[in-house]
Structure 1
């Protein structure tokens, strides 16, 4: 190596140390930046120049150090684990929250629950059977019946409102997912351009990773690396982002609970109307599952099944009470009358009303002091097929499902937290580590500068003082 070549070698050392110091500085100032992944300068030794012509065959050292780039110290496997656990966590959390809200709405056991109101209703009929010739107990029956009907209607309307709110959240989530897909496609373009031009795209990759993580939580998105700096984002194997092209979803189907059975809510690809878009997980998949219609096996959407249970309770209550009530005679002498009525054109839980116009329209028995009909109605609540048993079964199923959902959500949350912790352990900035790197690079810079100074002094002697010895 020539003396002037040694100057270049020292200079490359200065450049490499300076690049390392700048990278350490970038890490330090972004230590608290959410989503930032620490970086390191990649260097390699420069090979010696090829020997040509007449040479003495002596071995030659290399030509210094080459800065190959700035590496982003992320881990694709850890990122994929975060996406997978976030998908499961989002799905289970939505369902657990919905079941918890439904449990609160049921208010069972408690004085405000339907079970307590039905018990008061049956007890008032028992009191009436003991005083069939009095109108006051019949008035109490009507008051308890009205309270039961109102509670049933309010509960149904609360479920209906929750269904509508969930439907709106699905639309909002789809809009957010489409926006995120467009952002990823745009970042793909910027990252590919930066890489092709020889620049660093690390900060852009961090931004893209944050958006992809959001998509994973929202819709169970997974990624495929294309090898050119771009990623494909997949939903159940179908690309919503294909390189620099973004696709979008749309929500179709009912906008109200009443129409859920006729027009189930589902996701479709905007560019392929009528083609369903399926999700493997995420909050959006959990919300869509809540909007599914009820089915005969009771395995339909949570909210529609709750509404169907309220309807079944209203129908059973009206049918069983009316069947007995028709066998009695009212104080006014009427026979074959109904105590409850269900208005047509509305869900039974909303259409249920008290048909008896007043105490004198309540049948107690066959007349006079006979309270057999009132007594028979009071015993409906303890029958094997009573409305109480029907309601208790629904409450029990809801409690079991809620407990299971909470456990699943807790396990998914632990897995997601563990995955994020592992990712942060690998990618986050350690100020202690950066301080050590800072000192090492500072020494490297000083050493390269000292080599440069020594070579410069050698050249000064060679150029300015050769031949002047002894003068």
Structure 2
């Protein structure tokens, strides 16, 4: 008889004790975010190779040994989850901001642009009936001011939203750099621990949780190479390579805008040589370009919250912007086909531009109520040197604001004060289908609001669908990697009984050895 039986029982105690420790650790972290279930990798110890100890046909293994402590993860599921999580982040941003733009236009409502322009034309209808009435003229001026104020308000709200999104982009870049440094720091800790033969599973969980968080901000790929170096890429470019972080930065200096403003902060000059480096003609000043700090190369974002923010901030909706400044025709090519804030800024400017041009073209042909003044603009042209920012600066002309008599109603001074032929022509603008490619003023607004509604609902549907898909993928991940209390309780009983059985084996061998050592050879004493 040998001591091999004791050694086998000892390995059983060790393995089952480690199993109880792992089970306890799993249960303790059942609610820990990002925790991955751990299991023992146990292997039987083969029989001894010592010659002559046992007949080969009677050889028995030497017990069990813990080979490693492994995490139960599926890298393919992780990759799927992160890809879809990134798309969810993108469409949630788009859905929220398109919904906010809908609230800016506020259609249909009594304060929406459609209602305000309807009220303006209604006041002109009253003016056509009573051209000489100062009360009606005051109503026309008031309704015209309400129209320009509404356009101003919408335009300002869109610009404020664009500035806010720009700030959010800056914050996301700070988040990306911060997460990258945290991952690199964890890489060092994991590498050092595992170089010593330890298993850094809990640190790996922290790292995977950071990668998940990063994937919602920007499209992310992460993998460990054959040498144990952990690499994180965003938009196909390396962000973290083992211990090295390649930071992103934001740079305002890359944005060129209109140069030259008058005392009223109105643009007076446009630099065509630098125009192509800006995102869009109507952008607010100071928009950030996102680029790699070491190379200066612009980050080409493919999905994630950052993609949603950039599309909303920069998307011109496939429209190439054309303008004429200082006698030069300048084309500002589109760089982002998504229908974002610049698209709606552009359409508001188009609406205001046509409103100014059409009404001024007619009104300058008429005469004031006293018949002495002609050539008066109904709306104040914003600038003489270009055809941009109409919505920001549109207003009723100072001549009309200062004197109701300057509202022209006729092109023939002999018909004063009751002539209304000019007002009739202005009223006809309401049904002029040649003003916009969509048709008349109301058609333009209906088309704009309809397209906005379709885009907003589409983004909302995409966001909801992505949320469902991400939830399903996360449930699959949790089913594989998460802690099941029922399963752990089963393991607890298994390891507990295994420990007890191994201990009883030691007791049994102890009794056998006691008989062998202390009781044999006592016969006849």
TM-score, normalised relative to structure 1: 0.95
Q: Distance in 1 between matches of 2:524 and 2:227?
A: 66
2:327 aligned with 1:324:
no
2:411 aligned with 1:362:
no
For 2:327, the equivalent position in structure 1 comes to none
Q: Flag structure 1 segments of 5+ consecutive residues without an equivalent.
A: none
For 1:52, the equivalent position in structure 2 comes to 51
For 1:380, the equivalent position in structure 2 comes to 429
For 1:101, the equivalent position in structure 2 comes to 100
2:385 aligned with 1:349:
no
Q: 2:41·2:66 contact (CA, 8 Å) conserved in 1? A: yes
Q: 1:257 to 1:155 in 2, by over 3 A?
A: farther
Query: SS state of the match for residue 306, structure 2?
Result: helix
Deviations 1:163-198 (A, max 9, x none): 000000001001000111111111122222222212
Q: Which has more helix, going by share of residues?
A: 1
2:376 aligned with 1:337:
yes
Q: 1:315 to 1:257 in 2, by over 3 A?
A: farther
CA drift of 1:229 comes to 4.3
Q: 2:255·2:277 contact (CA, 8 Å) conserved in 1? A: no
Query: SS state of the match for residue 14, structure 1?
Result: helix
Deviations 1:252-293 (A, max 9, x none): 3479997797523432111112x1222221001111122226
Q: Distance in 1 between matches of 2:56 and 2:361?
A: 114
For 1:270, the equivalent position in structure 2 comes to 293
Q: 1:91·1:283 contact (CA, 8 Å) conserved in 2? A: yes
Name the count of aligned residue pairs.
469
For 1:291, the equivalent position in structure 2 comes to 313
For 1:394, the equivalent position in structure 2 comes to 448
Q: 1:221 to 1:165 in 2, by over 3 A?
A: same
Q: Distance in 2 between matches of 1:136 and 1:89?
A: 56
Q: Distance in 2 between matches of 1:180 and 1:245?
A: 13
Q: Distance in 1 between matches of 2:255 and 2:409?
A: 41
Query: SS state of the match for residue 58, structure 2?
Result: coil
2:504 aligned with 1:450:
yes
Question: Relative to structure 2, which stretch is displaced further, 321-330 or 204-213?
Answer: 321-330
2:250 aligned with 1:251:
yes
For 1:407, the equivalent position in structure 2 comes to 461
Q: Distance in 1 between matches of 2:116 and 2:301?
A: 42
Calculate the aligned-residue CA RMSD, in Å.
2.1
Superposition misfits of 4+ residues, deviation over 6 angstroms: 254-261
Query: SS state of the match for residue 3, structure 2?
Result: helix
CA drift of 1:56 comes to 4.3
Q: 2:257·2:278 contact (CA, 8 Å) conserved in 1? A: no
Q: Distance in 2 between matches of 1:396 and 1:255?
A: 35
CA drift of 1:300 comes to 5.4
Deviations 1:310-339 (A, max 9, x none): 111111111111111122211032112111
Q: 1:158 to 1:258 in 2, by over 3 A?
A: farther
Q: 1:160·1:257 contact (CA, 8 Å) conserved in 2? A: no
Q: Distance in 2 between matches of 1:200 and 1:396?
A: 58
Q: 1:99 to 1:254 in 2, by over 3 A?
A: farther
Q: Distance in 1 between matches of 2:53 and 2:516?
A: 24
Q: Distance in 1 between matches of 2:148 and 2:78?
A: 53
Q: 1:188·1:229 contact (CA, 8 Å) conserved in 2? A: no
Deviations 1:349-387 (A, max 9, x none): 121111123211100113221111112212212211233
Q: Flag structure 2 segments of 5+ consecutive residues without an equivalent.
A: 259-274, 280-287, 322-333
TM-score, normalised relative to structure 2: 0.85
